[in-house]
Amino acid sequence: MTIIEAKGISQSFNSGQKTIKVLNNIDISIKRGEMIAIMGVSGSGKSTLLHILGLLNRPDSGSLSFLGNSIDFSNENLLAKIRNKHIGFVFQFYSLIGELTIEENIGLPSMISGLKPEKDRIGIIMNLVGLSLDKMSRFPSTLSGGELQRVALARALINNPDIVIADEPTANLDKASSIDIVNNMKNINSQANQTFIIATHNKDVATRCHRTLYLSGGKLGEKT
Ligand SMILES: Nc1ncnc2c1ncn2[C@@H]1O[C@H](COP(=O)(O)OP(=O)(O)OP(=O)(O)O)[C@@H](O)[C@H]1O
Ligand SMILES: [Mg+2]
Sequence spans of domains, the chain: 2-222
C-alpha to C-alpha distance for 211 and 33, rounded to whole angstroms: 12
CA atoms within 13 A on the CB side of 101: 10
By alpha-carbon position, which residue is closest to atom 7 of ligand 1?
A: 13
Q: How is domain 2-222 classified at the CATH fold level?
A: Rossmann fold (3.40.50)
Mean pLDDT, the chain, rounded, equals: 92
By alpha-carbon position, which residue is closest to atom 27 of ligand 1?
A: 42
Q: Is the dihedral of CA 163, 167, 168, 172 positive or negative?
A: negative
Name the residue type at position 125. I
Q: Residue 42 C-alpha to ligand 1 middle, in angstroms?
A: 8
Quick: pLDDT tens for 160-189.
999 999 999 998 888 988 998 899 899 989
C-alpha to C-alpha distance for 23 and 138, rounded to whole angstroms: 40
Number of neighbours of residue 118 by Cβ within 10 angstroms: 12
Query: Would you say residue 224 has pLDDT above 70?
Result: no
Ligand 1 shell residues, CB under 6 Å:
13, 20, 22, 40, 42-48, 92
Q: Residue 133 C-alpha to ligand 1 middle, in angstroms?
A: 36
Q: What contacts 183, CB < 8 A, 6 or more positions away?
A: 208
Quick: pLDDT tens for 16-38.
889 999 999 999 999 999 999 99
